[in-house]
């Protein structure tokens, strides 16, 4: 076994502290693993969840300057959060990414994911198999410009790929995707509407949907009342900066969208040993 694998698995084996609802120690591995999430489908409808990692001052991404590319700060990323990210991915029928993510991936400015590149860890692949799920989730690209490279999608084509766009998107872009045999769904008038999107996915049997996109897509989901659960890792570091993104961006949400705390964990093994809080929030209906 490679040294990195040894240290990584040792690192992942450290437990964390549950603070709410039931205080006590818990293993990291398996914390988010899915049973609970698939149970949220028992009501019959679709269930959309998302996950962010942020600094204590709320930065999910920082750019080096005006007009620079936003990137998840290295000061927050860490293998324990990544493991939980993958656990959430392992549960999903579909993952939502943005058109911008594909553009950034093409410029090597974004991290490639197991469905697009690499494999899920063995235990998560086994989980999907046992649950009767396809090897990886379907990939859903949310985009209005339809301006993204198709090479990566071509690699992904052994799995279902869908592009969701608004009625305002140009026909040329749709025809380009058609020619490549990529399904396009018009889900919304000018831009993608969160409800139309979730309805369209549900019709295709994609009910448990994990949004790994950023602030624009989260706003689209929140606006339509479609976000059921939010996972948030807060790394207890302040980063400041002048060009940054927070979790949601768009017109003010009126009324505000409310959530309740469902679980809270304290992890002593964040980046460089800095603590991080793992929070699970559910929509307050
Ligand atoms: N720290 C974290 O946990 C975290 C999580 C996610 C993302 N991020 C970071 O945040 C930054 C932005 O990520 P992102 O690009 O995924 O963010 P995003 O703001 O969700 O995506 C923006 C793009 O999504 C498409 N889009 C969004 N809403 C749409 C709608 N209603 N209808 C049609 N298209 C819509 C558009 O694509 P087109 O331009 O193609 O039309 C738009 O340019 C990146 O640096 C990323 O790494 C951080």
Q: Could you write out the three-class secondary structure of the chain?
A: CCHHHHHHHHHHHCCEEEEECCCEEECCCCCCCCHHHHHCCCCCCCEEEEEEEEECCCCCEECCCCCCCCECCCCCCCHHHHHHHHHHHHHCCEEEEEHHHHHHHHCCCCCCCCCCCCCCCHHHHHHHHHCCCCCCCEEEEECCCCCCCCHHHHHHCCCCEEEEECCCCCHHHHHHHHHCCCEEEECCCCCCCHHHHHHHHHHCCCCEEEECCCHHHHHHHHHCCCEEEEEEEEECCCCCCCCEECCCCCCCCCCCCCEEEEEEEEECCCHHHCCEEEEEEEECC
Give the model's pLDDT for residue 231: 98
Pocket test for ligand 1, best of 141, 217, 241, 253 (most atoms within 8 A of CB): 217
For the chain, percent of residues with pLDDT exceeding 90: 76
Q: Which residue has the higher pLDDT, 264 or 170?
A: 264
Give me the mean pLDDT over the 7-20 stretch.
Answer: 85
pLDDT for 169-223, tens place per residue? 889 999 999 998 899 999 999 999 999 999 999 999 999 999 999 999 999 999 9
pLDDT, averaged across the chain: 91
pLDDT of residue 226: 97
pLDDT digits (tens, 9 = 90+) for 94-120: 999 999 999 988 888 888 877 677 788
According to the model, what pLDDT value does residue 157 have? 65
Separation of CA 238 and ligand 1 centre (Å): 23
Among 67, 81, 86, 142, say which to mutate for ligand 1: greatest number of ligand atoms within 8 Å of CB: 142
Kindly give the distance from the C-alpha atom of residue 218 to the centroid of ligand 1, in angstroms, as a whole number.
Answer: 8
Q: Averaged over 16-28, what is the pLDDT?
A: 97
Q: Vertex 126, ends 124 and 129: CA angle to 5°?
A: 115
Q: Is the pLDDT of residue 248 over 80?
A: yes
Tell me what pLDDT residue 143 has: 97
- Look at residue 251 and tell me whether its pLDDT is greater than 70: yes
Residues with CB under 6 Å of ligand 1 are 52-53, 60-61, 70-72, 98-101, 110, 142-145, 147-148, 166, 191-192, 213-217, 220, 245
Residue 4 has a pLDDT of 46
Residue 172 CA to ligand 1 centre (angstroms): 22
- Nearest atom in ligand 1 to 217's CA: 20
The protein residue with its alpha carbon nearest to ligand 1, atom 17, reads 214
Q: What is the pLDDT of residue 115?
A: 65
Residue whose CA is at the smallest distance from ligand 1 atom 7: 214
The model scores a pTM over 0.85: yes
Region 65-83: mean pLDDT is 92
pLDDT, one tens digit per residue, over 131-181 is 999 998 999 999 999 999 888 777 666 678 999 999 988 899 999 999 988
């Amino acid at each position: 076994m490679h040294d990195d694998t040894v240290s990584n698995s040792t690192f992942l084996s450290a437990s964390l502290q549950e603070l709410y609802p039931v205080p006590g120690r818990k293993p990291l591995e398996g914390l988010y693993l899915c049973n609970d999430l698939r149970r949220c489908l028992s009501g019959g409808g679709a269930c959309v969840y998302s996950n962010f990692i942020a600094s204590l001052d709320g930065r999910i991404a920082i750019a080096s300057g005006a007009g620079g590319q936003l990137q998840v700060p290295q000061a927050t990323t860490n293998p324990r959060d990544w493991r939980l990210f993958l656990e959430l991915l392992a549960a999903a029928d579909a993952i939502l990414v943005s058109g911008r993510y594909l553009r950034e991936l093409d410029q090597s400015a974004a991290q490639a994911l197991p469905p697009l590149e690499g494999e899920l860890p063995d235990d998560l692949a086994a989980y999907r198999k046992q649950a009767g799920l396809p090897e990886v989730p379907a990939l859903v690209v949310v985009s209005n410009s339809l301006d993204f490279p198709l090479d990566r999608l071509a690699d992904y084509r052994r799995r279902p790929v869908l592009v969701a766009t608004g009625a305002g998107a140009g026909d040329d872009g749709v025809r380009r995707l058609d020619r490549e045999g990529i399904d396009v769904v018009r889900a919304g008038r000018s831009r993608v509407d969160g409800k139309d999107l979730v309805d369209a996915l549900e019709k295709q049997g994609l009910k448990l949907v994990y949004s790994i996109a950023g602030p624009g897509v989260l706003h689209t989901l929140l606006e339509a009342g479609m976000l059921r659960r939010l996972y948030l890792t807060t790394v207890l570091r302040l980063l400041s900066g002048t060009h940054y993104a927070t979790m949601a961006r768009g017109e003010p949400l009126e009324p505000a969208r409310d959530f309740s705390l469902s679980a809270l964990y304290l992890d002593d093994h964040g980046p460089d040993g800095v603590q991080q809080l793992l929070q699970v929030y559910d929509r307050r209906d």
